[in-house]
Amino acid sequence: MRSDWLNCLVSTLNKVSDTEAIVIVDYGMGNIRSISKVLQGSGVATTVSSDPASIVSARKLILPGVGHFGQAMRNLRQRGLIEALHEAVTQREIPILGICLGMQLMARYSAEGNEEGLGWFDGSVVRLKVPDSARYKVPHIGWNEVESVKSSVLTAGIDSAAEFYFLHSFCYETQSPEEILMTTAYGCTFASAIEKGAMYGVQFHPEKSHNVGALLLKNFAGA
C-alpha cells in the first residue's frame, strides 16, 4: 500500500512529463561517477539522485552497488528509497538496470547479512561455492568470460564469449532459468546477468569493462 506522501507525489508526477535523463540511484554505495562518465561518453544524459521524486519520475533507472548487502538495504531504507523504487519499478514499470550489488538487491533474500531484498526476482544471493579455493579465489576479481544463453536488447551486438570485469564474493541463485540472460564459469557456473520484463541485472561491472561494457550500458539506455 502506498503511503500518503507517495500517493500525492504520483498524482503530481502524472501531470508532468518524465525526465529525459537516466537516473542513477545514489544510496551511498556504488561506482556512480564511473557509470555516469561511461554513459555520457556515449551521448546518454544522466543524473545522480537520492530524491524519491526523481526516482519515480525517471525515464530509466540504474541501481549500482559495491559492498555489503545488509548495509545497502539499510541505506535504502534510511533514505526512504525502497517505497519509491517499488513504485517506479513494479507499478510504473520504469526500466531498471542493477549492477553488481545492485543486481543482488533485486533478489528475494541474501545470505550476506541474512537480509530480505527488494524481491523483484524470486531468487536468493549466496556465497560463491568454488571447488578449489587455491585456484579460484573468493572474492572473484578480474576479467571473466560470460556466455549469453538467450537474446536480449541488453546484449545486442555483444559476442557470446565476451569478457567483463567482476568483483564479488556472492552470486545470484534461482530456480527460474527463464530469467537468466548470461552465465559465467568460475569454478562453479553462476548467473551473471538476469532479465524479467523491464528489469535487468548484471553481476559484473560494465563501467569497468571498456568497450563491451559501454555497449551494454548504451543498449540499456536505448532499450
Tens digit of pLDDT at every position of the chain (223 positions): 566 555 545 544 443 344 578 999 999 998 899 999 999 999 999 999 999 999 999 999 999 999 999 999 999 999 999 999 999 999 999 999 999 999 999 999 999 999 999 999 999 999 999 999 889 999 999 999 999 999 999 999 999 889 999 999 999 999 899 999 999 999 999 999 999 999 999 999 999 999 999 999 999 999 6
- Looking at domain 4-222, its CATH class is alpha beta
pLDDT value for 42: 93
Nearest residue to 163 via CA among 187, 137, 182: 182
Q: How far is CA 62 from CA 26, 136, 162, in A?
A: 9, 30, 22
pLDDT value for 17: 40
Active site residue 207: yes
Q: How far is CA 195 from CA 104, 125, 155, in A?
A: 13, 16, 11
pLDDT value for 4: 54
pLDDT value for 19: 59
User: How many CA atoms lie less than 13 Å away from 168 in the CB half-sphere?
Assistant: 33
Active site residue 8: no
Structural domain spans, the chain: 4-222
Whole-model pTM? 0.91
Instruction: Please say whether the dihedral angle defined by the alpha carbons of residues 174, 202, 143 and 127, taken in this order, is positive or negative.
Output: negative
Catalytic residue selected from 100, 140, 168, 171: 100
pLDDT value for 6: 55
pLDDT value for 14: 45
pLDDT value for 7: 53
User: 210-222 and 32-41 helices cross at what angle (nearest 10)?
Assistant: 80
**CA distance linking residue 149 with residue 208, whole number of Å:** 22
**CA distance linking residue 113 with residue 111, whole number of Å:** 6
Catalytic residue selected from 83, 179, 195, 207: 207
- Residue 140 near residue 186 (C-beta atoms within 8 A): yes
Catalytic residue selected from 87, 112, 195, 205: 205
* Residue 6 burial (CB count, 10 A): 19
